[in-house]
Amino acid sequence: MAALFTGKVLMANQERDEVETERELGRALENKVLLLYFASGQCPRCRQFSPLLRDFFLRLTDEFYVERASQLVLVYVSRDETEEQQSAFLRTMPKRWLALPFGDAFKRELELRFAVSEVPAVVVLKPNGEVIVGNAVEEIRRVGPACFRNWQEAAELVDRNFLLAEDFDDWTRRSITEPIRRLKYKLDKKTEAKNKERKAEGEESA
């Protein structure tokens, strides 16, 4: 996947660091499903979808939600009118996101290569650059984080030991108490497992 960005510069979100060497790009993109997010912070449809994508990404990469981060990387390809607008938008998004620098001519090349005519658009790619989904916006809206499992299977990633920390079937239902309920669920599960072990040990000794 790093070959797609050979000779290009990617920016690490909310930092001034540039991910530009072949080795750095390889480390950031190798053996991962890549999302190219074409959007603008000023576009009404993008303003509606971007919070969903932020949630989607965090639930797959933030250790609060998963046992370990998934093999997923996102590159923001901006259609913002100014660099200030792009920076303001990225400040509201996850720090793990990468971004094409504002005004980079490579943006147009990517739009043509992946036939992006409107935003928002999320192009899903295998590590070798092949397209898994031309525009996954509706799939992400409809299925949520569970759709990553399909992409992971299609991408044939080397490590398949990804494990979600919760069931996302009801992903659209959220409340401020959800993290507390999830923590309680995890603790209850651990307690239940320990009780089963003790019961089994008691039966063996009897």
- Please report, for the domain that includes residue 55, its CATH number: 3.40.30.10
Q: What's the pLDDT at 68? A: 80
Does residue 147 share a domain with residue 57? yes
**Residue position matching structure tokens 């690490």:** 12
pLDDT at 113 over 90: yes
Sign of CA dihedral 134, 122, 137, 102: negative
pLDDT at 174 over 70: no
Does residue 63 share a domain with residue 39? yes
Does residue 186 share a domain with residue 125? no
Provide Rg for the chain, Cα atoms. Answer: 20
The mean predicted confidence, pLDDT, of the chain is: 81
More confident residue, 166 or 145: 145
12 pLDDT tier (thresholds 50, 70, 90):
confident
192 pLDDT tier (thresholds 50, 70, 90):
low
More confident residue, 27 or 145: 145
Look up the domain containing 191 and give its range: 176-204
Does residue 184 share a domain with residue 139? no
Residue 183 to residue 164: CA distance in whole angstroms:
14
In the chain, the number of structural domains is 2
Does residue 165 share a domain with residue 182? no
Mean pLDDT, residues 12-30:
66
H-type alpha helices, 115-173: 137-143, 147-155
127 pLDDT tier (thresholds 50, 70, 90):
confident
- Entry pTM: 0.73
More confident residue, 159 or 42: 42
Predicted confidence (pLDDT) per residue in 48-65, tens digit: 999 999 999 999 999 888
Q: What's the pLDDT at 185? A: 46
DSSP 66: B
H-type alpha helices, the chain: 22-29, 44-61, 83-90, 106-113, 137-143, 147-155, 178-205
More confident residue, 160 or 34: 34
User: For residue 204, what are its two tokens?
Assistant: 């063996």
Predicted confidence (pLDDT) per residue in 61-98, tens digit: 998 888 788 899 999 999 999 999 999 999 999 999 99
pLDDT at 18 over 90: no
Does residue 184 share a domain with residue 89? no
Partner residues linked to 131 by β-bridges: 125
Residue 93 to residue 79: CA distance in whole angstroms:
16
Does residue 180 share a domain with residue 129? no
Does residue 192 share a domain with residue 131? no
